[in-house]
Amino acid sequence: MYLIIGLGNPGKEYSGSRHNLGYQVVGALSCRLKSGEPVQKHWSLYVTVEYNGRQVMLAQPLTYMNRSGRAVVELLQNNNVDLADLLIIYDDLDLPPGELRLRQKGGSAGHRGVQSIIDTLGTSEFPRLRIGIGKPSPRTEDADYVLQPVEASEITLYADAIERASDAVLLFIDGGLEKAMNTYNQGV
């Protein structure tokens, strides 16, 4: 089984924020794969679908971003998923808006949701897909910027990034991480 987890914060007040791009990718995949209604269990909303003969669980943690590790561990342990078959999707301030980057492992780069996962798992060796959101202006705090709704001028950019991220996830499932990295890592 593959476990695809999009990080974000539950609640309508966060739904359109940059910090919820992981949630949005999982939502897009759920629509694309015509999944049923999600189940609320293991600190998450999730649905299991079949894709090209493989079982895939699409999940959105309900723990809020800074405690994402709790949901990830629950989902991994209760579904016997190997770390190699886990993919964490999240926003990244260090990448230009809309740019994608897949990695096999790495640090959190200050992303508290990813740091929670690293701390809870006790390892940073798990696949991840980062979606660039760029840096805020010098007058805006990072925390405020990530929680702000996407600006009208950015809607098309992020809609395209969500679509490409969905494609990257499906290639990760079909062809493996290295193939997905070679296809979607821009300028690396």
Active site residues: 19
Measured between alpha carbons, how far is residue 89 from residues 3, 4, 52, 53, 130 in Å? 11, 8, 21, 23, 6
Contact 91, 129 (CB under 8 A): no
> What residues does 46 pair with on adjacent strands?
39, 59
Cα 25 to chain centroid, rounded:
7
Indicate the residue type of 177: L
Measured between alpha carbons, how far is residue 116 from residues 11, 36, 54, 64, 113 in Å? 20, 29, 28, 11, 5
